[in-house]
Amino acid sequence: MTESMTGAGDYAGDEQEFTQRLMAFTELAQLGDFARGCQRCGLRAGCRGVVFGEGEPHARLCLIGEGPGATEDELGRPFVGKAGELLDRILEAVGFTRQMVYISNVVLCRPPGNRTPEESEIAACRPYLCRRLALIDPSIVVLLGATPLRALIDRRAKITAERGRWHRLDGRWILPTYHPAYLLRSPSAKKDAWEDFRMVRELYHRLHGTGAAV
């Protein structure tokens, strides 16, 4: 079989069939392999590759950003540029490591010039996001910035209004907070983000104790 016969590009037309195809994957790695053949929107044509996500496949804490930037596209890993360095420091400050959590993005391919993904691109990638969350099955999901907030909670929501407010979705605790790139541009917002991550740590310990990460 050629890649085009097995990859996600085949499912551009029929949403129901596409969702069913994703539902058949029981392992994150299978979903990742499938997603790497995706051409459901125009983003894949303009980037080097799919940045699927990384971390503990059954993490109790998941972090979702907007989409890969230039460094992420080059290295094939999420949050490895300047914003990623800040995210690592924030996680470390509240007692988490990258190995304990799972980090991913709303869209798997870099938007040109790092622009915000369009609604149609978010819609094309949302089934991967939903299946990713179902397979990882985290109890807590942190949404980094407005794009994941709008993709998962409410397409008209404002991050300034929603940051630090817990939501419930499919039995999970969801917390929107500022995107680390915004924190780099607006250092005065860092104290709100620290507060948010302290709440995440508290809930994580309440739900899972202080022991093993998974």
Residues that bind ligand URA (CB under 6 A): 65-69, 72, 78-79, 81, 83-84, 105, 181
Phi-psi category of residue 171: left, alpha or beta, with phi > 0 → left and psi -120 to 50 → alpha: left
3-state DSSP call for residue 196? helix
- 64/140 with CB nearer ligand URA: 64
Smallest distance from the beta carbon of 81 to ligand URA, in angstroms?
6
Cα separation values, 34 from 7, 28, 118, 147, 206, Å = 5, 10, 22, 24, 36
CA atoms of 14 and 28, how far apart (whole Å): 22
CB atoms within 10 A of CB 47: 20
Whether 154 and 138 have beta carbons less than 8 Å apart is answered as no
- 34/52 with CB nearer ligand URA: 52
What residue number has its CB nearest to ligand URA?
65
| Closest CA relative to residue 214, chosen from 36, 28, 34, 24 | 28
- 32/69 with CB nearer ligand URA: 69
Smallest distance from the beta carbon of 51 to ligand URA, in angstroms?
6
- 10/72 with CB nearer ligand URA: 72
CA atoms of 108 and 128, how far apart (whole Å): 9
- 166/182 with CB nearer ligand URA: 182
